[in-house]
Structure 1
Amino acid sequence: MLLARAAAAVFALATLAHASPAPSFPRASPSAVLSKPNIVFIIVDDQDARQNSIDTMPHLQRLLVDEGTRFNKFFAPISVCCPSRSSFLRSQCAHNTNITSVMPPYGGWSVFNEKGMNGHYLPTFLANANYDVRYVGKLMNGHSVNAFTGDFEADGFVDHAFLLDPNTYDYWSPAFSRANGTVEYRPGEYSTDLVAEKAIAFLAQAAETPDKPFFLGVAPIAPHSHISTSGHSGGLPGLFDLPRAAPRHAHLFQDVKLNSSRESHNPDVPSGASWVRTLDKLNSTNVEYIEEFYRARLQALQAVDELVEGVINKLEEIGKLDDTIVIYTSDNGFEANAGHRRQPGKTLPYEEDINVPLVVRGPGVPRGLVDNHSVYSLADLGSTVLHLAGAQADYDHDGSLVPLTHELREQVERDGGTKGFHLAEYWVEGIGEGKYGSGITRFNQTYRAVRVVEGDEINYSYAVWCTGEREIYDLNTDPDQMHNLALAPLAPTSFTARLHTRLDALLLVLKSCSGNSCRNPWKVIFRDGKVQSLRTALDEKYDAYFEALPRVRYSECRLGFHIKLEAPFWTEDLAYSPGKEYVPLDAGFGASQIVLSA
């Protein structure tokens, strides 16, 4: 837990006392068997699951965690906001959306439109399925006061109040879209409270159309860094500054301390890969500032917590709570514990950056369940929302069904069990945040990574960087990802070497997967279906086969997704063939194979 005992005391004084009911798993009530439930989708900005920030949100704990299911192995497809949100909206891996950044030429709302995705994404699919679709808050970067109407008007929405650039990240000067094409400026008012106010108004309006189910997206900016529109306000002009709390919450969490017991906290020995491995140890002034930054994040989340309570109360008031699935998640994670000597920020393949909260309550959702083994992402969640709504995409999307409800959990088990892997991707620069990180841009940042979780025994992270570096971490023994098992030369017969070949093969399939190959990559490798997990693939009888496969690699480090730099790719002739003789590649995986690009 990141919170120290002193912080727990502050938290206890600042929150209501609630008795947590014992976990139970009742079947859905008769009112919950609607074929098309209402859906409220709450997505915050930059909240990680690694540092327990949702534990500081009492309303969320009482109304969502205690009343629903919490997924602890839920991930962002790409650890930056616009690409990750695009993956949700399209139910696709980032390499299939090719939205890889927050701004042109590699991403943003204008690029999303130029690629023809507006009108071919979740809102229009829901509208086609007879849903009343509304949205308040941040949709994605580049949705600006000059680009939300005309050719860039977002399709599929009955009504909207999008947060618009350049005001999106200014907590005290938000600008919202209106459905009539005008902009509503609200200087001096607190952004999260306005998002909550508009969300509750949209719920009341949606309830006036009883013949239609509704989908409401609610997207406050907290706990993202504050970026001032005015260029002053006592902070860092135009840079990533401390998140801003509502005045009523500014006194909270003053005694919170960073978790210095974590091995990754400002370590004496450098760790990680690429530029991370070159970072100097942070001085005490910098660490104290990061501590202040983390407190500000917790403070900013308290208004979100009140937003959650307001949404639930409104659903109950309009008689829709029992018929509504409420989803809470984040677009990507965030490092704010001085991990690996880093400044506050995201963009890396480590748990702080990619592991995000997912909590769901509603008709058919198991109550009080904590799922520690299912591995899903925002792309999967987009597919699941489509499924719940009875909606259809007009292309073959990549997502698997997340077992949100009893019925979905049973269906997933019939189809072979819960998903045990996740692909994380990244192609653009790394950006620092806060007083000591803003303005620092890091290159050599491109990577592909895969997370594999199977039961209690298998819990691995594997990454291949454009620099040629590789990282393997056993998160059961090394939860802070400090001891890279891929650094030392390995005997081909060692377990780690054999693990390396399997993880690399899985990544080779996933890095160019589409549709079914994203949902079941093991079936691509073993077409007879006899191997459907890493655990089974580790059988020694497959050693020669995996050793003979080409390795994941990059030709060079460059901004943007360039297919020509990422060969080789999986081809059907690489699939396992029983009885075939396989010759191992000459190149192994040892440290001698690491080649750093200039």
Structure 2
Amino acid sequence: MWSTGVVFCVFILFFAVNGSKPNIVYILTDDQDIKLNSLDVQSKVKSMLIDEGLFFDNAFVTTPVCCPSRSSILTGKYTHNHQTYENGVPHGCNAPSWRQLNEKKTVGYYMSMAGYKTGLFGKYLNNYARPLSGMNASHIPPGWSKWFGLVGNSKFYNYSVSNDGVEEKHGDDYEKDYFTDVIKREAVKFIKDSTQENKPFFVYIGTPAPHRPATPAPQYNHTFDSHPAPRTPSYNYNSTDKHWIISKGTPPMDGYTKTMVDTLYQDRLETLLSVDDLVDEVVTTLQTAGVLDNTYIFYNSDHGYHLGQFKQQGEKRQPYEENIRVPLIVRGPGINSGKKTNRIALNIDITPTFLDLAGFKVPEDIDGMSLKPVLLDSTNLWRDDFLIEYYGEGDPTTGLGCRGNRSPITGDQLFLHDCNNNTWLAIRTINSKQNDIYTKFYLTDDTPIAVENTYFHEYYDIKTDYWQVHNTYDDPTNKAMITQLNERVNKLYHCQGQSCH
């Protein structure tokens, strides 16, 4: 391995000779797990990104649900600071409050100030241009040179996009409308056009895959019919020592629900094959244009996913590794190929990393940390813990206060989107002595959280309980550790800017 000094000198020499800022391409999937092996089917991601770049073994999100996590990616801030608490407009998702507080503090706005040509292609926020948000497809968030934003949430067919402020409707013709392919074509065109200009470019590609409805392209349909969802030690595990949604609120899976989960797992993998094609075409386009060696490519997901773990059929929103761990792979100038790092990387680190690579001063109110020193293997000091926060958004009209589908056979709740009293704060720690997570659950879904109003606690030592099967909060030998973790949770919940580092 090259020494830190050699890597840094090569990095500086490259840009001195090249005479330009690096281009940056960010590919963001939607709901892609890493702990349940979804990356294994993406051979092009492996050959073009993993084998050629840096793989983060400890990449996480700070809120495991789409709109808050994407807001954290766009702003570099924890949820309690950007105040997009859930996917609904009343909870901040593309609400007027989002536009007032955050739209001039996003990565697109800052990268444009740094002299970049910027383009967003695909999913922005779940309620973008939906009527309840108070705006329509004519609204282009500030800072974007090219805007091709999905109206609403992830879909593969029968959707609308804002094409530079003009609503464009798409149907169900695969050749013309399959959304992963559409944004691939648009992003590739943007890259080709941008390479003709003497200006660096920043490309944000938000794919719909593998989010439900997880509709595969026709050529990939049924590819993984023989692949059931992983039967992990926590699969359909009836855990009585967990918070109420799992211990009391979810029935055990039966044959019907297991088949449903298996089908979803297969469809999810098949949709990722089109993402694999997108990666291939982006990398090939950069190479053909002669700019691949001056381009950073990031591959990431907005959160993980569970598929049968603790009887939960298919969702996120829980403080378990399936939900909070995500893929993060980076290739580009100065990065050693085929390497891994155990440094913690968070969704709030994405924006400050891009700004740092662009030579733009990271604003002081950003909570995340630039990953540039980690990418260039030039740091020995790094965080060893972080906050995870989630705010419940249930449906008070249902028996358990849960949103979701019901089984046509038993009437039981399936695919729990969310439930009341599912608000929690967690501290995840990884260092030479600890690898654990401590979570506090709350009686109400208030924003902000009244931190003293807890009703349940969970603690897992990941070193000895990799699948978080046994809650050891009540183990007296953990009491001193948990007291310290509780203080750290409360401190991070009130952090802002550098105090979050």
Q: Structure 1-normalised TM-score?
A: 0.74
CA 1:265–1:398 in 2, change beyond 3 Å: closer, same or farther?
same
What's the RMSD between the two structures over aligned residues?
2.2
Q: CA deviation at 1:149?
A: 5.3
State whether structure 2 residue 484 is matched by structure 1 residue 502: yes
Q: Give the letter for the 2:189 counterpart.
A: A
2:320 corresponds to which residue? 350
CA distance in 2 between counterparts of 1:182 and 1:148 reads 10
Contact 2:64 2:318 in 1 (8 A): yes
CA distance in 2 between counterparts of 1:440 and 1:320 reads 42
- 1:114-133 equivalences under 5 Å are 114-133=99-118
Q: In structure 2, which of residues 406, 426, 441 is the aligned counterpart of residue 465 of structure 1?
A: 441
Q: CA deviation at 1:405?
A: 5.5
State whether structure 2 residue 72 is matched by structure 1 residue 87: yes
CA 1:200–1:78 in 2, change beyond 3 Å: closer, same or farther?
same
1:398 corresponds to which residue? 367
CA distance in 1 between counterparts of 2:339 and 2:189 reads 31
Q: In structure 2, which of residues 458, 470, 490 is the aligned counterpart of residue 483 of structure 1?
A: 470
Deviations 1:394-433 (A, max 9, x none): 55211112256654x31x32xxx12211211011226766
Number of equivalences = 462
CA 1:45–1:311 in 2, change beyond 3 Å: closer, same or farther?
same
The structure, 1 or 2, with the larger RCO (C-alpha pairs under 8 Å, 6+ apart) is: 2
CA distance in 2 between counterparts of 1:161 and 1:100 reads 25
CA 1:182–1:440 in 2, change beyond 3 Å: closer, same or farther?
closer
State whether structure 2 residue 411 is matched by structure 1 residue 447: no
CA 1:384–1:259 in 2, change beyond 3 Å: closer, same or farther?
same
Q: In structure 2, which of residues 384, 388, 394 is the aligned counterpart of residue 420 of structure 1?
A: 384
Q: Give the letter for the 1:249 counterpart.
A: Y
Q: Give the letter for the 2:200 counterpart.
A: P
Q: Give the letter for the 2:467 counterpart.
A: D
CA distance in 2 between counterparts of 1:113 and 1:507 reads 25
CA distance in 1 between counterparts of 2:56 and 2:340 reads 6
Deviations 1:354-405 (A, max 9, x none): 111100000011211122x211211012211111112245552111122566
Q: Give the letter for the 1:121 counterpart.
A: T
Q: Give the letter for the 1:89 counterpart.
A: L
Q: Give the letter for the 2:124 counterpart.
A: L
1:381 corresponds to which residue? 350
CA 1:118–1:393 in 2, change beyond 3 Å: closer, same or farther?
farther
Per residue, is there more strand in 1 or in 2? 2
CA distance in 1 between counterparts of 2:357 and 2:14 reads 15
CA 1:215–1:476 in 2, change beyond 3 Å: closer, same or farther?
same
- 1:256-405 equivalences under 5 Å are 256-260=227-231, 262-278=232-248, 279-336=250-307, 338-371=308-341, 373-392=342-361, 395-403=364-372
CA distance in 2 between counterparts of 1:223 and 1:507 reads 32
Q: In structure 2, which of residues 191, 204, 208 is the aligned counterpart of residue 203 of structure 1?
A: 191
Deviations 1:60-106 (A, max 9, x none): 00000000011121111111111111111111111111111112221
Q: CA deviation at 1:501?
A: 1.3
2:411 corresponds to which residue? none
Q: In structure 1, which of residues 515, 530, 555 is the aligned counterpart of residue 497 of structure 2?
A: 515
CA distance in 2 between counterparts of 1:143 and 1:277 reads 35
Contact 2:137 2:162 in 1 (8 A): no
Q: Structure 2-normalised TM-score?
A: 0.87
2:211 corresponds to which residue? 224
Q: Give the letter for the 2:178 counterpart.
A: Y
| Runs of at least 5 residues in structure 2 that lack an aligned partner in the other structure | 395-401, 408-413, 444-454
Q: Give the letter for the 2:480 counterpart.
A: R
| Runs of at least 5 residues in structure 1 that lack an aligned partner in the other structure | 1-22, 227-242, 520-598
CA distance in 1 between counterparts of 2:155 and 2:184 reads 16
- Name whichever of 133-142 and 279-288 sits farther off: 279-288
CA 1:281–1:406 in 2, change beyond 3 Å: closer, same or farther?
closer
State whether structure 2 residue 170 is matched by structure 1 residue 186: yes
Q: Give the letter for the 1:503 counterpart.
A: L
- Name whichever of 282-291 and 36-45 sits farther off: 282-291
Aligned-residue identity in percent: 28
| Aligned-partner SS, 1:365 | coil
Q: Give the letter for the 1:171 counterpart.
A: F
